[in-house]
Amino acid sequence: MPGAVTLDNRTIVLPAGEDATLLVRIRNLGQVVDGFMVDVLGQPGAWAQVNPPETRLFPDTEGAVELRFRQPENAPPVAGAHPFAVRIRSREDPGWVAIEEGTVQIGAKVELAVEIRPRTSTGRSSGKHQVIVDNLGNTPVWVQVVGDDPDDLFRFHVDPPDVALQPRTAAVIDLRARLAGRPPKGTNRVPFVVSVLADGRPAATTEGGFSPRKFPWKPLVLAALALAGLAIAVAVFTRTDVVSLATQGEETTLAATTTTVPGETTTTAGGDETTTTEASNEEGGGPLGDRLDQPQVLFASDRDGDFDLFMANLDGSDAVAVTDNDDFDGDPTFSPDGTQAVFVSTRDGNADLFLLDLEDCDVTDPDTCEPERLTATEEEESFPDFSPDGDTIAFSRNTADVSRSAESNRELFLLDLGSGDEAQLTSQPGDESRAQFSPDGSQVAFDGVFRGGLGVAVVDLAGGQVTPVSVGRSVGSKDPQWVDDDTLVYVRPAGGEAGELVEVDILTRNPERPLFDEPDLELTAISRDGDRIIFRSESNLFVADRDGGDAERITDDEGFNFEADLFEPDD
């Protein structure tokens, strides 16, 4: 045997992007000077340097050859264990070969690149983007795309909500940004942030934007008025009962235009007397309290060009504007007895909570519909909900310092309407919102970010214990509503832009029971007995059985109608 070979280490730990060395020790056991040639077999051999590749040794002497493992920059190996073999051959004895085996352990490197196309989308209330995520690292990662904006003006829909991405591969993820709030006046572009999570940890961010395209109300109104004037003129000049023919020797006259008020009696050109009938104030006008003897829906809509509150019967009839201003009014919810509503408004510059007395509010008299401001903080409040006894409001507040970071941190708070005292209900990273009291008032369901993904959870008001409900089931679940004290329904992604309504028993933790799915589904309210739901699909509101049967439209217009609540009078 010409020689003996040993390795200093059989396991080489090679951090991502770094080098590592290994010494191969060779002893000449022969009787003559011999040359020993060294090379590396296996995948690591392609990125191993041998120095020197051949060493000559006198009899009974030892030499060392250095192996340097350096990952190639153009195609780095995948993280994990990579076996190799060191082969040593003799010049003097070509039939002799020694093989020593080892392993190179490549460290994991997580590196993602993200791009959004287009950078800025346009539309009336929503824009579509594609988020391209490249895995530039050397290890597979579970990728999630999350949209966020510090002013809570957007609602984001991501499809698919998560994807497994192998090294040196890319994924194209659809993102839809829908305006749910009113941007500051004069804003031509509303920015938002897209974050990419790798295995639940922030890995990359990029900035996108949406440019709202205003509906051309004024030109259309002016055109309609012009057409109406033309039609009136044509009608007047073609009426033979108000114009006498000069050829008959009578005086040619044109009937004078008159303006009447309800109850006024006028005489036509032909000598007939007519009485103008009493005109209604506005469809569904009068005190809103008069409407509370039948189910009512309170919702936000931009059908008039900006977001205001509207009230309608459950079938959508007799819809009236409850608020009318140039600022954002939204997120309305009825008090248990229907006589009050709490909502979010930016009318005083910031998104605050306001309380409106519906019982005496007459939409034809704005002074009777002036709301009371409940919060006056620098933070943004959103998604209020009344407790079953009507004494407390749960809501979400962005506690992050938006002057220093674009990341939001919404926590849940409780507001006592009697004393005005507040108490913080949750305190954890991420966003918690859409609080919903259980029917007995002992728990609050909400959606928030858990383990890097959106999910539904329940907090116990007595002990403050937060129990995730959808975590481990469906990433991206949201919009919880209570069927009863033990059962929740909420929306989970269903592929594409669809959402699927599912039902879960929070005590037994049984698997989610699918109910139905709709495009761009948002669950907004549920009936007192839990049998009927109100949901938004795309830009309109619907009422249906809980399993999706007998769905009927509540709204059917060009506006974006959302965030509806339901009031049902006692039988």
- As a whole number of angstroms, the distance between CA 320 and CA 311 comes to 6
Average pLDDT score, the chain = 82
- CA–CA separation, 238 and 187 (whole Å): 49
Query: Domains along the chain?
Result: 3-106 (2.60.40.10), 112-212 (2.60.40.10)
Using CA atoms, how far apart are residues 444 and 2, in angstroms rounded to an integer? 79
The phi-psi region of residue 9 (left if phi > 0; otherwise alpha if psi is between -120 and 50; otherwise beta) is beta
Assign 3-state DSSP to the chain and report helix, strand, coil percentages, each to 5: 5, 50, 45
Contact 59, 32 (CB under 8 A): yes
pLDDT, tens digit (0-9, with 9 covering 90-100), for 39-68: 999 989 888 999 999 999 999 999 999 999
- Examine the pLDDT at 536 and tell me if it is beyond 80: yes
Phi, psi of 110 (to 5 degrees): -100, 115
Instruction: Check if the beta carbon of residue 500 is closer than 8 Å to that of residue 494.
Output: yes
Q: At CA 160, angle to CA 535 and CA 307, rounded to 5? A: 40
For range 344-370, the mean pLDDT = 90
Bridge partner list, 544: 533
Instruction: Return d(Cα 566, Cα 157) in angstroms, integer.
Output: 25
pLDDT digits (tens, 9 = 90+) for 97-116: 999 999 999 888 888 999 99
Q: In this structure, what token pair is assigned to residue 167? A: 């090294």
CA distance 300 to 325: 13
Distance CA 228, CA 549 (A): 43
pLDDT, tens only, 294-336: 999 999 998 888 889 999 999 999 999 999 888 889 999 999 9
Q: Are 81 and 103 in contact (CB under 8 A)?
A: yes
- Alpha-helical regions (H) of 340-398: none
Quote the percentage of the chain above a pLDDT of 90.
43
Burial class (CB in 10 A: 0-12, 13-18, 19+), 270: exposed
- Rg of the chain, C-alpha, whole Å: 36
The C-alpha atoms of residue 97 and residue 112 are separated, in whole angstroms, by 45
At residue 252, the pLDDT reads 31
Per residue in 377-424, pLDDT (tens digit) is 888 999 999 999 999 999 999 887 655 444 668 899 999 999 999 999
pTM above 0.85, yes or no: no
